[in-house]
Structure 1
Amino acid sequence: MKARKILLILIVALFAVDTLPAQTARKKVAVVLSGGGAKGMAHIGALRVIERAGIPIDIITGTSMGSIVGGLYSIGYDSERLDSMVQLQDWALLLSDRESMRSQFLNERMDQNTYALSKTIVLDKKGKTSNTGGVIEGKNLARLFGALTKGIPDSVDFNKLPIPFACVATNIIDNTEYDFHSGSLAEAMRASMSIPAVFSPIRKGDMLLVDGGLRNNYPADIAKAMGADVIIGVTVQGAPKTVDELKTGAAVLGQIVDVNCKNKYDDNLAMTDVAIRVNTKGYSAASFTHAAIDTLILRGEAEAMSHWDELMALKREIGLAADYRPERMPMPAGSMTLPEAEALDNTSSHVVKGALGVRFDTEERVSLQMVGKWRPAGRPMEIDATLRLGKRIMAGADLRYVPKGRDVMRLSYKYWHSDLDIFQEGDRIYDLRYSKHTVDWSVQLANLKNFIINAGARFDYYHYVDVLVERDAEYVPGDITDEHLVSYYAHVNYNSEDNYTFPTRGARFVAGYEYHTDNFVKYAGHAGLSDIFASWRIAFPLGSRLSFQPMIYGRFLFGNDQPFCLGNFVGGDWYGHYVERQMPFIGTSHMEAINSKFIALRLKLQQRLGTNNYIILKVTGAQRGDELKNLFDHGPLIGTQLGYAYNSLFGPLGATIGYSTLTHKAHFFINLGFVF
């Protein structure tokens, strides 16, 4: 009898245990995030409200930007962490193949701030490449995704992530949808957001994958197939545009994309239980400024809050109490910052790079410069070829010895052909055309990221094709005759500034000594000419947007019978813009001939407005003379300038107006693009 009672108790207990899951089981909740480029930042705000409501997320799917937000959310980046991550990024850098200044050597920074477009192709020894086209390869995005997903295996079942995940790409080989349920999470996110012709497609087996929005921009059907019982959807697609709204090429292109992204959209939206449609009016897929990102996140949060009652009703429907809160997932092992780029390994591959720079200004009109670089497999060398077209024509070639990717030795040749107007105190004294041939050999004595010391020897030959001298010219800076020079030099270059064009902190120091001869030892039968130049600029932040930048600079030339080609020239905003040794002097146009000894102090205030707009005020005072002892005999030269510039991906776009006591004339100047 006792045994029967024990057996009966065991049977009842077993039935109770067996029915416990059925009693506590709840419906599975999926969150579906649409594509939309920068507008997809609104997903972060919507996720914040879903977390606030205490609704657990069992499945997450997404396309394009939705795949990035969803993929990272699935491994532990909740809304707070995602918000921090997107605020940390330099989106202009991230959405390009440009490198961060902190990872570059000085010559690499100069190249990056000369050429607006560049492309690197890696070839195997048979000449084949894995490159799949696209203006942007997406190297920075791939590095960031790799850092964010650190600790996640390269091949993983996405159903076994902390939150099961899937995302969509489009196979452009046959225009079919490809759904990622396994593999590399970083690669899946990168493929899903690969806008055709903008970002390089991702090659996977015999498929070529691009943005999933072309086939399924709102993948609620995938969430259903993964077992979702209820779906919360966030979409950032705007209302259909009218004929009157399609007045520009960009608007028409956007409409074409939106129409293609409507595939499956209505059917998938119909199976959504709570549809959060964020108003993104005024913003586009390219609105990646920090101000736009902040606004889009807030709009996503506000729109989700307007569905609060629906969310809480859904929470009750799935069988959870109003005060239920799911546990927060552990912090992922990844890093939220973009890691430094690794040097390209050319031990078994050829590395080919091409770059193009285009600029316009009101003096030289349109100029174009292009460069091609080749680093052969297994050899510590690089061959460069450069061509510049415009009022100043240049062609050159460099052979560089680069063990471990660092410059050690260089042999170069350059040819210049220039048509220059030279002024004195605002009046033109010369109109000349000349050609110059230069052969240069140099050795890097030190080559750190912010610091270079180099020394070398150079041969220059100047041939003056046509010279027009104004009759009223009072001062002629040396005879204008063909000249050949053999020079020896040592240069120092230091730069710790945080931005190449618009620095707010850091310092830049350049100095050099050159000894010029015409027979390897002497010049014109006597001692050679000594050439000393230096500039030192420091940037001091006076707040988050205002900086103060004093700079002292000058050049002293010593020796008898100084030739015209070595004379001192000043003008404009930049060093070496017209000729190699020309120095800036604001408030002047063109190139002004000046005495052989020149020193200047420039004060600059730089105010940032918004994200990329700058108002810049400069004041320069300078002294000059033919001997050190009379350097301060004349009153100072004063130059002033007020300017505006926009920091674009193609370089600074802006205009300045200035005045100087050197020319006694107002000067207006427009510059569009990087300076070269």
Structure 2
Amino acid sequence: MLPLCLWLCSQPVRAQKGNAAQNRPRVGLVLSGGGAKGAAHIGVIRAVEQAGIPIDYIAGTSMGAIVGGLYAMGYTTDELEQLVKMQDWEMLLSDKSPRKQLSPEQRERKGRYILNIPLSRSAKPKMDGFVRGRNLGNMLARLTVGYHDSISFDSLHIPFACVATNLANGDEVVLRSGKLSAAIRASMAIPGVFTPVLMEGKTLVDGGLCNNFPVDVARRMGADIVIGSTVQRVFNDTMQQGGIQSVVQQLISISSRRKFEENIQLCNLHIGVNPKGVSTMDFSPEKLDTMIRRGYETARQHQRTLQQIALATGVHFPYAPKLRFPGQTPGASSVRLPADTLCSPHSAALASALPKLQGSHPSRPTGCQRGMQSDFQVASIAFDHITPAEERIIRKACKLAEHSRITQQQIEHAVTLLNERFLYLDAHYSLIEAEQGYHLLFHAHERLASELGVAARFDTEELAAILLNANFVFRTHVPTTIDLAARLTEQYAVRGSLTVEPWLNKQFNVFYEFRHRDIDVNHKGRRASSLVFQQQQAGLAYAYRQTRNFDAELGLKFQRFDFNDVLMNDEGTLAAFPDPVSDNYFTGYVRLNYNSQDKADNPTVGSKFVATYTFTTDNLTCLKRPHAFSTVSATWQTVMALGKRFALLPRFSGRLVLGKKVPFIFRNAVGGHLEGKYLEQQLPFVGLSHFELFRNALVSCDVKFRYHFLTRHYATLLGAVLAEQRDVRHLKKAHYAYGIGLHYGYETKFGPVQAALSYSGECRKPTFYMSVGFDF
């Protein structure tokens, strides 16, 4: 504080002169790294603005680079706050494709595996970072449209610099030019978490390893006064036990501790925000809001010092940021707009003012305008390291054409296809300004040869289960994949399939599957029989898999059932159902699938609909009864939000068997907790712990009333009713069954943890069920 006062006292004349605006001391703002805690920088900047202080330079590391870089482009603090709080950070900090851009079949697959290991064509695992940063890179690209070419960061609204670390030798790398989004991405590439970024022949990782608070960088940029914002805890010689995040954070802190402390001494004003209760990776809206508020309140505690700095700059209150246009240097004169024309999603004042200010000189719009732009006039389109066949498919599927307006959604759809359908490890895009619009360039690097998936779950029925999957991709003229899967548990199974895709979203599939079943069949809640049998099926299918929400499948399959042991209880409660007989069956089927739900577990919006028709015979020479029969089934469920925390989830299901003397294995089966766990047609029903057999005509309805609390916790009240009869005509005289239950769920990265207590009028006793992990 004393050095600042002495410095200010030595500069009394500058504010008096007419050319004070040009000769005033330059102010630099420095923002430290800190992950989610770095949201506090937004509050600090807001307080600095309100104090009337002009910001002439910005330097940042990691999260400070994101906030600082976007602010340097022209985003306001209100826009930055909205951006960080509205993002799905769990998605951004992963390589998962947005669920809405996947087909229902892809969503089901992505929702199973807790570990995916990509293999290159050399068969070496590509695990140089757990996350390649695809989603984060695409988000930064979306927010920095217009700066996708290589530029000097001095040409931004405010000159900007960020810091990365050269992985080869540990040297500090100050980034003041290049592609802005890549520079920010490099500054926050935490080793072992994110893959490094290649820039100018260097392999770059998180700048926090060498300089997590780059005050010295701001000084070299030309700052006379430096205001610094940090979100680090006090350095301790001992560390309490913590998770991997705490360990990584501590290692970064240790590696740059001395420089961090030296840079604090170089600040004229150091604003240290207390991060208590907020971890580096806690990006929940509540914690982000907490840090933004703390940043503002902490900065306001230094209000007197901020006012002294404002007076030293000679800028009248309130300060309005200046717009800098291409070709202007930091010291050149520039146009100042009134404070009410700051770029905002709710104001078009800046957009209308720009042409008058610029005259005939074509200028980049401010960053906030680009980041909120939904479509672009594209003059040309090019593909880098992408085959001509893939280019044709993407152009057609995404309706990309030169000299037309292309939406952000179309561009991101194309990137999703490159990542998910053509399995490129790193696909992204650039929008570079051209004379008649933008030049759109898609980049792709290194395609997968295969991918290994691992899933695991535990429940009170099967105890433990493991699912292993290997997906092999062949770079043939017609895209071809081989998929192998094995389910290791009491109900073990193996499956193999070969898929060719001559046209996008149109697939031909050949498959074989073997399953071992060891199941109990209940009647009125009591075990009626135990069955041990093997099921084999092989088939051919044609599938249309639209990228969003809908897919359809038409197929033929051969099925073989071999029953080894059939144990009946003494009461003969299955007398109405013939004994299972080993036999062969031929089935043709049509399946329609629609899914717009945002999550597989505990969805908050969207609906799901599945309809299936099958025709089965045990004799291809006789397609009439009693050798043949048909089934029709459908399920529809939706989510009805009742405020922020409550939701109503109704589901309606029905299945009709058309035929007499239908084999046991194809009858209506209801019960259990997972759909299709024991038999393909099995429907879950609250209160029935194991499945029971019902007659040919069946309809059911269940309703869930769900309460969402403490971010990841769910409590649900369930009620269900079903009606069954021998055919549709007699449903008015149907037999009814009901069930009620109470369900608790907790979401984790390894799948949901669930516990359920339920009761049904069929078994007339409470049942308890618990599971950990994704369903499969």
TM-score (ref. length: structure 2): 0.79
Q: What is residue 272 of structure 1 aligned with on the other side?
A: 267
2:471 to 346, 349, 373: 373
Q: Which of 581, 603, 610 does residue 481 from structure 1 map onto?
A: 581
Query: Does the alignment pair 1:186 with 2:260?
Result: no
Listed one character per residue, the Cα deviations across residues 292-317 of structure 1 (whole Å, up to 9, x for unaligned) are 11111111111111111111111222
Report 1:370-519 matches (<5 A).
370-377=468-475, 378-444=477-543, 447=546, 449-476=548-575, 477-519=577-619
Does structure 1 residue 210 correspond to structure 2 residue 205?
yes
C-alpha change, 1:447 and 1:71, in structure 2 (3 Å) is closer
Matched-pair contact (CA < 8 Å) for 1:487–1:520 = no
Aligned to 1:8: none
1:508 Cα shift?
1.7
Distance 2:706 2:423 in 1: 42
1:640 counterpart (740, 757, 766): 740
Contact 2:53–2:313 under 8 Å retained in 1: no
Distance 1:82 1:582 in 2: 49
Paired amino acid for 1:83: E
Go from structure 1 to structure 2 and tell me whether the alpha carbon gap of 1:209 and 1:405 turns closer, same or farther (over 3 Å shift).
Answer: farther
Query: How far, CA to CA, are the matches of 2:21 and 2:168 in structure 1?
Result: 49
Given that 1:158 and 1:181 are in contact with CA atoms closer than 8 Å, whether structure 2 keeps it comes out as yes
Q: Distance in 1 between matches of 2:447 and 2:310?
A: 58
Task: Tell me how far 1:247 sits from its aligned partner.
Answer: 6.6
Judged with a 3 Å threshold, the aligned counterparts in structure 2 of structure 1 residues 598 and 237 are, in CA distance, closer, same or farther, namely same
The aligned residue for residue 652 of structure 2 is: 552
Contact 2:97 2:416 in 1 (8 A): no
Structure 1 residue runs of 5 or longer lacking an equivalent are 1-18
Selected match of 2:301 from 303, 306, 309: 306
For the structure 1 residues 239 and 409, does the alpha-carbon distance in structure 2 shift closer, same or farther, using more than 3 Å as the test?
same
Match of 2:370 among 328, 334, 340: 334
Distance change >3 Å, CA 48–CA 624, structure 1 → 2: same
CA distance, structure 2, for counterparts of residue 116 and residue 335 of structure 1: 33
State the AA in 1 paired with 2:91. L
Query: Counterpart in 1 of 2:97?
Result: 99
- In structure 2, the partner of 1:290 is 285
Tell me the number of residue pairs that the alignment of Structure 1 and Structure 2 aligns: 655
User: Which of 457, 462, 467 is matched with 1:364 structurally?
Assistant: 462
Hey, what's the Cα distance between the residues in 2 that align with 1:32 and 1:435?
67
Structure 1 residues 460-491: Cα deviation after superposition (integer angstroms, max 9, x where no partner)? 11222333333334115332232211101111
Change (3 A) 1:636 1:346: closer
Moved more, 207-216 or 494-503: 494-503
Residues in 2 aligned to 1:521 and 1:289: alpha-carbon distance in whole angstroms? 63
Note if contact 2:52-2:316 (Cα within 8 Å) is conserved in structure 1.
no
Q: Is the 8 A contact 1:450 1:496 kept in 2?
A: yes
Identify the residue that residue 37 of structure 1 maps to in structure 2: 35
Q: Distance in 1 between matches of 2:646 and 2:766?
A: 26
Instruction: State yes or no: 1:598 paired with 2:593.
Output: no
Q: 1:272 to 1:478 in 2, by over 3 A?
A: farther
Q: What is the CA-CA distance between 1:232 and the residue it aligns to?
A: 0.6
Q: Which moved more, 1:463-472 or 1:637-646?
A: 463-472
For the 8 Å contact 2:67–2:80, the answer to whether it is kept is yes
Counterpart AA for 1:392: Q
Query: Which residue of the partner structure matches residue 719 of structure 2?
Result: 619
Q: Which residue of 2 aligns with 1:141?
A: 136
Alpha-carbon separation, structure 2, partners of 1:441 and 1:210: 48
Decide whether aligned partners of structure 1 residues 431 and 82 sit closer, same or farther in structure 2, where only a CA change above 3 A counts: same
Residue 9 of structure 1 corresponds to none
Write out aligned runs for 1:145-160 (5 A): 145-160=140-155
Inter-partner Cα distance in structure 2 for 1:459 and 1:499: 34
Give the superposition deviation at 1:517.
Answer: 0.9
Identical counterparts, % of pairs: 33
Q: Distance in 1 between matches of 2:252 and 2:757?
A: 42
Which whole-Å deviations, capped at 9, do the CAs of 1:11-44 have from their partners, x for residues lacking one? xxxxxxxx97588401111111111111111111
**Deviation at residue 456 of structure 1 after TM alignment:** 1.2
Cα displacement (A) at 1:288: 0.8
- The structural deviation recorded for 1:639 is 0.8
Q: Which amino acid aligns with 1:502?
A: N
**Residues 219-262 of structure 1: CA deviation (Å, up to 9, x unaligned):** 11111111111111010001234758447776555434432342
Counterpart amino acid of residue 417 in structure 2: A
2:145 partner amino acid: K
TM-score by length of 1: 0.90
Is this contact kept in 2: 1:105–1:450, CA < 8 A?
A: yes
Report the alpha carbon displacement of residue 599 of structure 1 after superposing the two structures with TM. 1.4
SS of residue matched to 1:343: helix
* Residue 343 of structure 1: aligned partner: 417
Partner Cα distance (1:253, 1:488) in 2: 55
For residues 650 and 132 of structure 1, do their structure 2 counterparts lie closer, same or farther at Cα, with a shift above 3 Å needed?
Answer: closer
Q: What SS does the aligned partner of 1:664 have? A: coil
Aligned to 2:4: none
2:758 to 651, 654, 658: 658
Match of 1:6 in 2: none
Q: Give me the whole-angstrom Cα distance separating, in 1, the residues matched to 2:142 and 2:539.
A: 42
Give the secondary-structure state (helix, strand or coil) at the position aligned to 1:395.
strand
Alignment of 1:117 with 2:112, yes or no, is no
Contact 2:228 2:270 in 1 (8 A): yes
- Alpha carbons of 1:91 and 1:556: their partners in 2 closer, same or farther (altered >3 Å)? same
1:238-249 to structure 2, matched below 5 A, reads 238-241=233-236, 243=238, 245-246=240-241
CA change 1:443–1:574 in 2 (3 A) is same
For the residues of structure 2 that align with 1:252 and 1:90, how far apart are their CA atoms? 25
Name the CA shift for 1:408/1:246 in 2 (closer, same or farther; >3 Å): closer
CA distance in 1, matches of 2:669, 2:367: 59
Task: Tell me if structure 2 keeps the 8 A contact 1:513–1:530.
Answer: yes
Q: CA deviation at 1:458?
A: 0.8
Amino acid paired to 1:342: T
Q: How far 1:537 sits from its partner (Å)?
A: 1.7
1:359 partner amino acid: R
Q: Secondary structure at the match of 1:314?
A: helix
The letter for the 1-side match of 2:230 is T
Q: 1:23 to 1:460 in 2, by over 3 A?
A: closer
Go from structure 1 to structure 2 and tell me whether the alpha carbon gap of 1:289 and 1:333 turns closer, same or farther (over 3 Å shift): same
**Structure 2: gaps of 5 or more residues:** 1-16, 323-341, 344-365, 373-407, 425-443
The answer as to whether partners of 1:503 and 1:539 remain within 8 angstroms in 2 is: yes
Partner residue in 2 for 1:224: 219
Q: For residues 20 and 552 of structure 2, what CA distance do their matches in structure 1 show? A: 75
Task: Tell me, in whole angstroms, the C-alpha distance in 1 between the residues paired with 2:508 and 2:542.
Answer: 5
1:526 aligns with 2:626: yes
Bigger CA drift: 312-321 or 331-340?
331-340
Residue 49 of structure 1: how far off its partner (Å) = 0.9
- C-alpha distance in structure 2 between counterparts of 1:128 and 1:580, whole Å: 36
Amino acid at match of 2:274: N
Which residue of 2 is the match for residue 667 of structure 1?
Answer: 767
Instruction: Please report how far the alpha carbon of residue 113 of structure 1 lies from its aligned counterpart in structure 2 after TM superposition.
Output: 1.6
Give the secondary structure class of the aligned counterpart of 1:287. Answer: coil
User: Structure 1 residues 334, 610: closer, same or farther in 2, change over 3 A?
Assistant: farther
Matches of 2:146 and 2:519 in 1, distance apart? Answer: 60
Map of 1:16 onto structure 2: none
Q: Say if 1:245 and 1:251, in contact at 8 Å, map to a contact too.
A: no
> Residue 32 of structure 1 contacts residue 233 of structure 1 at CA under 8 Å; is this kept in 2?
yes
2 CA distance for matches of 1:301 and 1:271?
22
Q: Is the 8 A contact 2:40 2:231 kept in 1?
A: yes
Secondary structure (helix, strand or coil) at the match of 2:294 reads: helix
559, 567, 571: which one aligns with 2:667: 567
When structure 1 is superposed on structure 2, of 534-543 and 325-334 the one drifting more is 325-334
- Bigger CA drift: 157-166 or 492-501? 492-501
Describe the shift of the 1:399–1:523 C-alpha distance in structure 2 as closer, same or farther (beyond 3 A): same
